[in-house]
Amino acid sequence: MSIVSALDSLIKSVDGFRGEMTTFMVELLKIRAVNPDGGGRGEYERALFLKRKLESFGIKVSRYDVPDPRVAEGVRVSLTSVIDGEDDSRTLWFVAHMDTVPEGARELWDTDPFEPVVRDGKIYGRGAEDNGQAVVATLFTLKALLSSTIKPPINVGVAYVSDEESGSKYGIIPLLEKVDVFRSNDIAIVPDSGTPDGSEIEVAEKSILWLKITTKGRQGHGSTPEKALNAHRVGLRLALELDDYLHSKYSAIDSLFKPPTSTFEPTKHELNVDNVNTIPGVDVQYFDCRILPRYPIRDVLVDIDLIRQRFEKTHGVEIEIKPIQKEENTVATSSKSLVVERLKISLNDLRGINAKPVGIGGGTVALFFRRKGIPTAVWSTIEEKGHQPNEYCKIQNLIDDAKIFVHVAVAQGDVGAVKHS
């Protein structure tokens, strides 16, 4: 059998996994893996479930534990498995995360978010798209490769990591520090962002700055505001001022990114008082800032602090502004890198798509690979339902993405490509 015929057969074999992939995805989503920062117990049980599945393929699984006293098991778990290629000195990695965000308001869901439902070619449940689809698609990419007579030109590995939804300090960050896992000449694909047609390859991310803003005034009775100092009112005014000022000053447009500007969004607000007729003495709110790489985070923080000082002086309150996540994203992956070129060839070959490189505001583990000098592309075919109520993934996306990953893994060497007929 020719290499082209063998590749044809290999890619078509993925269709035969449809039922198994669907069933496995449903069972995976039944295992709650809400990040502890969102009030959950973490990914431990989901990691063990994945480990058993990988071992059923007959391949070695490496487990990495990071201590975390907040979870019952005391550790957060990440996994890796690798298939040897012709050149075993480097690896193409597929990296997905196991944790999810909380379900949010239950009343906005049509079904139980932790009892996945298969309907109309879709799988509904928290974590279906973010990032269960990537876990299952890459898992069955390995299964397809293991069933083939084709040996990939370089090693092919998967890494299933913890804590992505809350900064990765218990996941990919410590894993990248281990000298026996990732190498500088490796390349990586992170299926954690994308579009419904798969026509965009993410090569850059904005810097991330999450802020906790605590305003302290003086609590009092709602009928005697003159005896109180309303922290909530000052907090609202501060939020609006920050919103207007930051959008106005940091207003550059970079067409690589979607959206093309920096964003500064007031998001979470903590309960301040339990009853209507009490004036809050403390108000706590949060901002989610996604900043174009051209702007240093330190400059943004200086401006924010000047506004804080002015508000303290003007309103007689005490204000603390604390960064709770701060990631400077100044390194991008070249659009001419091997990993991007591989993806572009596969997408053109299998889907007839001329994919374009883009930047995004969302944060992925690609950031940490890029900091290590490992060229990394973020790509998948998704409906952009992550973090939303009634989150789902299309079953066909599971299959079609696995086909792309198989093609990327075996069809291209470092020079040239084997054309799929």
What residues are labeled active site? Answer: 99, 164
Conformation bin of residue 34: beta by default, left when phi > 0, alpha when psi is -120 to 50: beta
Cis upstream peptide for 259 (omega within 30°): yes
Q: What are phi and psi of 154, to 5 degrees?
A: -130, 170
322 DSSP β-pair partners: 212
- 354: cis peptide before it, omega within 30°? no
Contact 406, 419 (CB under 8 A): no
CA distance 105 to 99: 19
The dihedral sign for the CA sequence 28, 29, 30, 34: positive
Give 139's Cβ-side CA count (13 Å radius).
Answer: 31
- How far apart CA 251 and CA 268 sit, in angstroms, is 24
**What's phi and psi for 246, nearest 5 deg?**
-65, -40
- φ, ψ of residue 6 to 5 degrees: the values are -65, -40
CA distances from 307 to 140, 238, 239, 240, 300 (A): 52, 8, 11, 12, 11
Q: Distance between CA atoms of 70 and 113, rounded to whole angstroms?
A: 23
What is d(CA 145, CA 217) in angstroms, rounded to the nearest whole number?
A: 62
116 and 30 in contact (C-beta within 8 Å)?
Answer: yes
Phi, psi at 236, each rounded to 5°: -65, -45
The answer to whether the CB of 391 falls within 8 A of the CB of 124 is yes
Phi first, then psi: give them for residue 75, nearest 5 degrees: -140, 155
Picking from 77, 146, 69, 157, the residue whose alpha carbon sits closest to that of residue 369 is 157
User: Distance (Å, rounded) from C-alpha 380 to C-alpha 25?
Assistant: 16
